[in-house]
């Protein structure tokens, strides 16, 4: 059974779905692996490293004809007919984001899996691309803020005077938020965090940050551990509470999300007006609408002296480690779906059922 790894088609995508190390391990476990020439270059993995690991390096047409294509982003619609009819593809995409593409994958009888649909259950953790890539994004968000702000993070006592530590506020303490807390602390900032799920308070404190408490009368967490959308009244209370909190912050890293929904607005335009000039907001929710009312996806704007960054695909800007973790996730997933050299499509299995987007000509997730 041959695994194919294409060069990612999107201009802002520097990751590659398999690293030489993981390709070598797959080869040892009985797969053939074929990489498109140059596919790993932007992530600093040269073709020679793949060849040394036992993978074949070839042109795009040959790679696309593999039994299982593994990639970071979804196939490009124009290229779907070039994939092996009846083959499989493993990628990371929201099927609802492009229904026409999903229909096309089904028509070409591809068995397509999306790793962003994995259930957040313990046995799926080694395959969890949302967590691995959010870890990278949370870390990088703090570095973006650190280079945009006109201050140093740590408190410094010098002959030229004493500098107070920067105050960083993290909104949403999920995987990205917790990594942002840890990174900001390592740089010496005083860190505060807020989340609607009270369960995260201890995790926030164990990383050396203070948890901002707001009395919430409703249960804001689903049985699966995710946040729920708040009632209008609680959301209004939250906006007022956060308008006060952001006034004291030098940096706000916003990571709040609700699976499958638009991101909640947590910082209004009026709240931005109350912030100090020179402050920085990094809005990791830019892709799904933004946690700040003023965020522009993919852009950096300044309002009343406050810089608002809405970066997209941050994980791709740390391509080596992001690819390394992604490749490990993919290989754990392959071990789950392939048995004795054949695709194991047991739809009783929660992992297979929830990640399979198309199979046997049918759309299963839209
Ligand atoms: P996410 O990206 O869906 O959301 C980020 C954070 O935003 C969450 O902490 C959420 O509570 C918060 N949030 C949502 N609405 C908010 C609001 N109005 N105000 C403030 N904060 C708000 O979350 P995630 O990082 O994907 O993690 C979600 C959960 O899944 C966490 O409990 C995490 O520990 C858990 N998880 C479990 C596994 C597993 O395998 N068991 C793996 C990964 C994550």
CA of 261 to the centre of ligand 1 (A): 13
End-to-end CA gap in the chain = 28
CA 133, 139, 141, 144 torsion-angle sign: negative
The protein residue with its alpha carbon nearest to ligand 1, atom 20, reads 195
Nearby residues of 160 by Cβ (< 8 Å), 6 or more positions away: none
Assess whether 29 carries a catalytic annotation: no
Q: Of 336, 327, 325, give the one whose Cα is nearest residue 35.
A: 327
CA of 72 to the centre of ligand 1 (A): 22
Phi, psi of 296 (to 5 degrees): -115, 120
Taking the whole predicted model, whether its pTM rises above 0.85 is answered as: yes
- Among candidate residues 15, 66, 128, 283, the one labeled active-site is 128
Instruction: Determine the Cα–Cα distance for residues 51 and 57; give it in Å rounded to an integer.
Output: 7
Buried b (16+ CB within 10 A) or exposed e, 39-75: bbebbebebebbeebebbbeebeebbbbbbbbbbbbb
Instruction: Determine the Cα–Cα distance for residues 169 and 251; give it in Å rounded to an integer.
Output: 6
Please work out whether the CB of residue 354 comes within 6 Å of at least one atom of ligand 1: no
Please work out whether the CB of residue 128 comes within 6 Å of at least one atom of ligand 1: yes
pLDDT means over runs of 10, the chain (366 residues)? 97 97 97 98 98 98 98 97 97 95 98 96 97 98 98 98 98 98 98 95 98 88 83 94 97 94 96 98 97 98 97 98 98 96 94 97 95
Assess whether 349 carries a catalytic annotation: no
Instruction: Determine the Cα–Cα distance for residues 39 and 15; give it in Å rounded to an integer.
Output: 9
Question: Is residue 323 a contact partner of residue 311, using CB atoms and an 8 Å limit?
Answer: no
Assess whether 197 carries a catalytic annotation: no
Q: Of 314, 282, 299, 278, give the one whose Cα is nearest residue 152.
A: 278
Count the helix, strand and coil residues of the chain and give each as a percent rounded to the nearest 5. Answer: 40, 20, 40
Please work out whether the CB of residue 43 comes within 6 Å of at least one atom of ligand 1: no
Residues in the chain: 366
What is the per-residue pLDDT for 221? 83
Assess whether 226 carries a catalytic annotation: yes
Structure tokens at 188: 């010496």
CA distances from 323 to 19, 22, 119, 313 (A): 7, 10, 21, 13
Instruction: Determine the Cα–Cα distance for residues 215 and 236; give it in Å rounded to an integer.
Output: 13
Instruction: Determine the Cα–Cα distance for residues 331 and 129; give it in Å rounded to an integer.
Output: 11
Name residue, tokens 């996730």.
329
Can you list the pairs that 11-14 forms with residues at least 24 positions away whose Cβ atoms lie under 8 Å? 12/312, 12/313, 12/316, 13/72, 13/73, 13/313, 13/316, 14/42, 14/43, 14/316, 14/317, 14/319
Assess whether 125 carries a catalytic annotation: yes
CA distances from 143 to 8, 148, 149, 304 (A): 25, 9, 10, 22
CA of 210 to the centre of ligand 1 (A): 18
Structure tokens at 193: 């965090």
Nearby residues of 37 by Cβ (< 8 Å), 6 or more positions away: 7, 47, 57, 58, 59
Please work out whether the CB of residue 197 comes within 6 Å of at least one atom of ligand 1: yes
Q: Of 343, 336, 348, 340, give the one whose Cα is nearest residue 359.
A: 343
Structure tokens at 85: 């009819």
Q: What DSSP element (H or E) covers 66?
A: none
Question: Is residue 88 a contact partner of residue 66, using CB atoms and an 8 Å limit?
Answer: no
């Amino acid at each position: 059974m041959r695994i194919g790894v294409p060069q990612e088609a999107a201009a802002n995508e520097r990751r590659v779905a398999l690293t030489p190390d993981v390709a070598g391990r797959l080869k040892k476990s009985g797969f053939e692996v074929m990489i498109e020439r140059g596919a790993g270059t932007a992530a600093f993995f040269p073709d020679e490293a793949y060849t040394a690991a036992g993978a074949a390096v070839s042109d795009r047409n040959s790679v696309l004809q593999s039994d299982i294509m593994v990639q970071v982003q979804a196939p490009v619609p124009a290229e779907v007919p070039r994939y092996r009819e009846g083959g499989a593809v493993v990628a990371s995409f929201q099927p609802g984001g492009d229904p026409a593409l999903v229909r096309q994958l089904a028509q070409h009888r591809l068995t397509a899996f999306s790793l962003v649909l994995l259930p957040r259950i313990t046995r799926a953790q080694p395959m969890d691309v949302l967590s691995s890539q959010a870890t990278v994004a949370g870390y990088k968000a703090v570095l973006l803020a650190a280079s945009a702000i006109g201050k140093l993070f740590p408190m410094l006592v010098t002959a030229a005077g004493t500098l107070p530590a920067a105050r960083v506020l993290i909104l949403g303490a999920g995987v990205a938020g917790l990594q942002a807390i840890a990174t900001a602390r390592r740089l010496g900032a005083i860190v505060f965090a807020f989340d609607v799920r009270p369960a995260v308070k201890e995790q926030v404190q164990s990383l050396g940050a203070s948890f901002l408490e707001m009395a919430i009368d409703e249960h804001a967490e689903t049985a699966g551990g995710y946040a729920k959308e708040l009632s209008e009244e609680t959301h209004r209370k939250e906006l007022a509470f956060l308008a006060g909190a952001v006034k004291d912050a030098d940096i706000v890293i916003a990571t709040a999300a609700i699976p499958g929904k638009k991101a909640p607005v947590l910082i209004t335009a009026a709240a931005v007006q109350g912030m100090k000039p020179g402050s920085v907001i990094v809005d990791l929710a830019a892709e799904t609408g933004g946690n700040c009312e003023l965020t522009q996806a993919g852009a950096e704007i300044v309002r009343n002296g406050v810089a608002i960054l809405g970066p997209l695909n941050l994980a791709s800007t740390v391509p080596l480690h992001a690819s390394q973790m992604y490749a490990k996730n993919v290989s754990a997933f392959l071990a789950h779906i392939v048995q004795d050299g054949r695709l194991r499509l047991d739809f009783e299995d929660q992992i297979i059922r929830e990640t399979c987007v198309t199979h046997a000509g049918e759309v299963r997730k839209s």
